[in-house]
Amino acid sequence: MARKIQAWVEFGPRLEPREPLDAEGLILRIVQATNQSRGSVKAILDELDSQLEIALQEGTIVQLPNGMHFQPIGKRNGKIEIRVRINPDLLKRINAIFRGKWRNPENIGKTEDEIFDQWDAAHPGDPVDRSSL
């Protein structure tokens, strides 16, 4: 019997992978948008990184002007994790005009049983084990 994850991997909706925007690409986009020099943009981003690190090492929440914030979280084992909160308005704008590509876009919003039914139809000799957690 097939596992549930197999059905989700094959039929579940997910974003098509794209090449990441690397640091140099981001710098070039900012240079083009602002007419600042590459060096000044890189210096500002480097300093932002340094100031984030210093403030978070001090246990301080850092709030950016765009509504994003970074919060250090202390774990029981003594390690620190950083929680990042994205501005909800940014998420709304991204969802309003998302231009990325989806795999299986026809399955957006389908229930688990509908995805499993697709698997079972495509793989009649290997149905999904619906009893597993």
Q: pLDDT digits over 64-114, tens only?
A: 999 999 999 999 999 999 999 999 999 999 999 999 999 999 999 999 999
pLDDT in tens, 20-59: 999 999 999 999 999 999 999 999 999 999 999 999 999 9
Phi-psi group of 48: left, alpha or beta (phi > 0 → left; psi -120 to 50 → alpha; rest → beta): alpha
Return the pLDDT at 132: 61
DSSP 8-state class, residue 109: T
Q: Please determine, for residue 62, whether its predicted confidence score (pLDDT) is greater than 90.
A: yes
- In the chain the domains, ranked by start, together with CATH numbers, are 4-122 (4.10.520.10)
